[in-house]
Amino acid sequence: MPIHVAPVPSPITPKPNTQNKQGKPNIHTPQAHPIIKVEPTPAKISPKVEPQKKPSTPIATPKRPQPAPSPVTHATPQVMIPGPSPVVQARIQTQTPKKQLQPQHIEKKRQSSQPNVEKHGKPIPTKSTKPPVDYQVLLLSLADEYLNAAHTRGTMTSLTAREPDVEEYYKLVATGLGCLEAVLKNWRLQPRKEALVRLRYARTLFEETDNDIEAETALSKGIDLCERNRMLDLKYSMQHLLARMLHKSNPKASLKAVDGMIQDVEAYRHAAWEYAFRFLRVSLSLSSPSHQDSVQALQHLHKITAMASRNGDKAVSAMAAVIESLAHLQQATNSDSIEQAQRAVAAARSHQLNDELRHIPQLTTLIQMVDICCSLLEYDVNQSGQKLKVMQALMDETLSDSNWRPDGSFSVPLNGKSAGPSSIDTGDILQVHNGTLLLSFNWLPQHDLYALCYFLSSITLSAKNSYDGRKAEKYLEEGLRMVQGNFKAPQEISESMANANRRVQWRQSLYCNLLLQRVFLACARTDWDLASQTLNDLRQVFQELGSNLPDTIECLMEYAAGTIAQATGDLKAALNIFQSPILSLDPVTSKTGRNDPCRDTRILAGLNTVLILRDPSHPSHSLLSAVLATLEPFCQSSPNKYIQAAYYLVCATVHSESTIQTKQYLQQALQSATAISNSQITCMTLTFMSWKYFRGVVGEQAEKSARAGRAMAKRANDRMWASVTDDMLAETLERQGKGEEAQSVREEGQRLVSGLPPRLRRSA
């Protein structure tokens, strides 16, 4: 099956004018995590030998080649050799011989000149000089061939998920495993070769099957073998794999096992492996929702930083710092999390000019992306925009960098102090290149990373999308183009189907998030046709891939559907969606955790529910107090300033009986909206203030208030609120005696109304 090569990613700066899950028996597909993981790459276990013919079935126990039977001996007849002629004899006597041949030499020469003859003149069969077949080397080579053949089609098989392709893939894997198993059972190998074979065998079982017990058995035997023969490098590799394997079934036991390994390597001062096991501990801990595990992860990162500082490993220090920043952003529950994340980013940046980091484009890009995320969560639109330009320039600069690898892995160099007798190149976690010891990490291939950067660019510029030429949507379209290209012509990567499944699922998740971003950008500028069409596209994708997508996708998708229904006037459908189980807010949910998109989406659904129920004539108006009581603790303790601004605005519209309290809510909403540069909430707040306090009032202040609301509506590019503010300003101008201007404004408002959904239109 041909595998197509994806096109080279285009520069991150867009052009100005550019706009069946297959069931398989006994196979396990682990989930992918956004946390950077220390994962090994398969190591070669033997030199490749091209066999003359590949068997199509697993090779049974080989038989030793039998020696050929000895030929039957007979009496050799005498052959009479005539003497030389007299003329020849005379010539021999006249010549001086150079060397007198001994009689035995003459006899040997005569024998060599005689043809191989037998009785009756038949030739004697000569003994074959062809060496016997080394079945051990042959089987190891076949194992490499079969597994490599399977891995070359792993991406396409995962993407198409056709049953014949899946069956063929697992036949190749099973045959390769059979070859490895035959070698382990039928030959006594050299200790290091046996350890490598066992490691390859166990890793393949772990990645491709659910036979964890057999894989653990192979690793246990391999670890015992390594201990007997003092092969510390392979022993640590096996323990690393065993810990990850154990984490599937018993996470706590896995963490405890890793802690024990860290104590061992720390006692023996094997610094390189201490890095590896501590990074593994961090990765496993951050994959757990437990706050205690996240605290322990930060402790290990601090120990890595201290050790790297002593050993002079600048790249390791930067890696630990950027992971610490991610941990603060994702796991922290207090208001200092962003400040702590920024300190960690600053620590990583302090090493950015070091030569070690200049040749690692993955790490420098990651640092820049995390820095942008810190500014976004601080709601600093201008600063995040400036950092975005730096990231885009960096991505354009490293577009053709030779250090990008097809599988997304990258390596950080270690100082000589970190190397030791246990730091031999095992081909997976630790590698040696040009005499430098490298610690390997797995992340994203270049194509995927560029698509992610386009998504981040769109999010960063979302607040300005309505008045800067829709740059956010242009970046979004470029990201969608790249991801769709990955589905149609995926990049050729030799990897297991399990790894390919995780990569494909990640791309599918990114694709859905890109579509969601397009929906919300269209909603923000009231393009309901584009929003509805994109949402329908997203629903089709979700129906095909729902079981492989995170819950946040479905939660945001339903919220988008409710938002469109509410904005187009279908309040009944909107209320049904906002009150559906997936958008219902559970009172026991954590109220302060930052990284909980579903919780924040449910809060927004609750606020929209309040806006629908606040009408006294609504049949469910009696539920308003209960909904507000549920929302209040979440909104007041939320670290999200967007939610805070929306909550204060909703409270101002609901609690309108007290003028002082209403003014306080409006002031808080306006301050919050201005701080986060949210044009929509600012427009709604100013419009409500103008309607509440200056309706029917004649004076300069009333006109200023109406004009301010209209200006923000135009800036937000919101047609509905622009039509509302036009009407309010026209009424104010008429009272001021400015009839001509009032007529012009009213006509503009009527033109906008004609473009609204039918249920939102009103007569002049």
Amino acid 619: pLDDT = 93
Report the predicted TM-score, pTM, of the whole model to 2 decimal places. 0.80
pLDDT above 80 for 143: yes
pLDDT above 50 for 389: yes
Report the candidate in 408, 401, 394, 402 with the shortest Cα–Cα distance to residue 491.
408
CB 576 within 8 A of CB 535: no
pLDDT above 70 for 31: no
Over the stretch 403-425, which tens digit does the pLDDT of each residue have? 999 888 999 999 877 776 665 65
Q: What percentage of the chain exceeds 90 in pLDDT?
A: 59
Mention every residue, 6+ apart, whose C-beta is less than 8 A from residue 484.
511
Over the stretch 691-741, which tens digit does the pLDDT of each residue have? 998 888 888 899 999 999 999 998 888 888 999 999 999 999 999 889 999
Over the stretch 476-517, which tens digit does the pLDDT of each residue have? 999 999 999 888 777 778 889 999 999 999 999 999 999 999
DSSP string, 83-148: PPPHHHHHHHHHSPPSSPPPHHHHHHHHHHHS----GGGPPPPPPP-PPPP-HHHHHHHHHHHHHH
pLDDT above 90 for 120: no
* Backbone phi, psi, residue 433, to 5°: -135, 120
pLDDT above 90 for 112: no
Amino acid 489: pLDDT = 76
Question: How many residues comprise the chain?
Answer: 764
* Backbone phi, psi, residue 430, to 5°: -110, 135
Distance CA 184, CA 143 (A): 12
In the predicted model, what is the mean pLDDT of residues 157-169? 91
Q: What is the CA radius of gyration of the chain?
A: 37
Q: Which long-range contacts (CB under 8 A, 24 or more apart) does 558-562 make?
A: 558/582, 558/583, 559/583, 559/601, 559/604, 559/605, 560/516, 560/519, 560/520, 560/523, 560/531, 560/535, 561/535, 562/605, 562/608
Over the stretch 56-94, which tens digit does the pLDDT of each residue have? 434 333 344 444 444 444 443 333 434 444 544 444 444
Amino acid 638: pLDDT = 86
Distance CA 413, CA 363 (A): 12
Tokens of 145: 């061939």
Half-sphere exposure (Cβ direction) of 398: Cα atoms closer than 13 Å? 22
The secondary structure element, H or E, covering residue 266 is helix 251-267
CB 509 within 8 A of CB 550: yes
Least trusted range by pLDDT, from 110-124, 176-190, 351-365, 662-676: 110-124
CA angle, 491 then 497 then 503, to 5°: 55
For 1-27, the three-class secondary structure string (H helix, E strand, C coil) is CCCCCCCCCCCCCCCCCCCCCCCCCCC
Amino acid 6: pLDDT = 46
In the predicted model, what is the mean pLDDT of residues 450-464? 95
Average pLDDT, the chain: 83
DSSP code for 421: T
pLDDT above 50 for 244: yes
pLDDT above 60 for 104: no
Amino acid 87: pLDDT = 45
Over the stretch 303-349, which tens digit does the pLDDT of each residue have? 999 999 999 999 999 999 999 999 999 875 666 888 999 999 999 99
Amino acid 353: pLDDT = 80
Dihedral sign for Cα 66, 72, 78, 79, please.
Answer: negative
CB 412 within 8 A of CB 441: yes
